[in-house]
Amino acid sequence: MNKIKITFIKSGVSAIATLREDICPIVTASLLSLLPVETQAFHAKWGGGEIWLPIANFPKYEHENETCLPSVGEIIIMPQKDQTVTFDLWYDRGWCFGPNGFMNGAAIGMITEGLPQFAQEAVKLSIEGAQVIRIEKVV
């Protein structure tokens, strides 16, 4: 199973997530093909303890292992428009909810290392605003 590292560039705080390639083969392969990615991360308005990052030119989204009720530490790829997705990460309890109600996305992985420190940094997004995050493969 592949792992990814998600890092707040400003502080250097990071977490490691294990991908669920067995149940999300197309979506995880699409994500891995784009890495590394650096983009602005934002705190959710409606989703609870969640941060999200836009990823443009996502090769292929499929309806794999979809949910609207993520677990703490879960990563969900949420389809948007024009081959854009959001990489949504729950550091605390929450739900997939937007301006039009509940939404489903592909639950592609789970943070397996560093969640407590990562969560402390994620909370700052709601106070300090957006920050750059890097997502990369762990080799």
As a residue count, the chain comes to: 139
As a dihedral over the C-alpha atoms of residue 95, residue 26, residue 111, residue 12, rounded to 10 degrees, the angle is -110
Tell me the whole-structure pTM to 2 decimals. Answer: 0.92
Q: Domain coordinates of the chain in residue numbers?
A: 3-137
pLDDT of residue 101: 66
How many CB atoms are closer than 10 A to CB 47? 22
- Residue 62, CB-side half-sphere exposure with 13 Å CA sphere: 13
List the chain pLDDT tens, one digit each, 139 residues.
Answer: 899 999 999 999 999 999 999 999 999 999 999 999 999 999 987 777 899 999 999 999 999 999 888 999 999 999 988 889 999 999 988 767 666 767 889 999 999 999 999 999 999 998 999 999 999 999 8
Q: What is the CATH number of domain 3-137?
A: 2.40.100.20
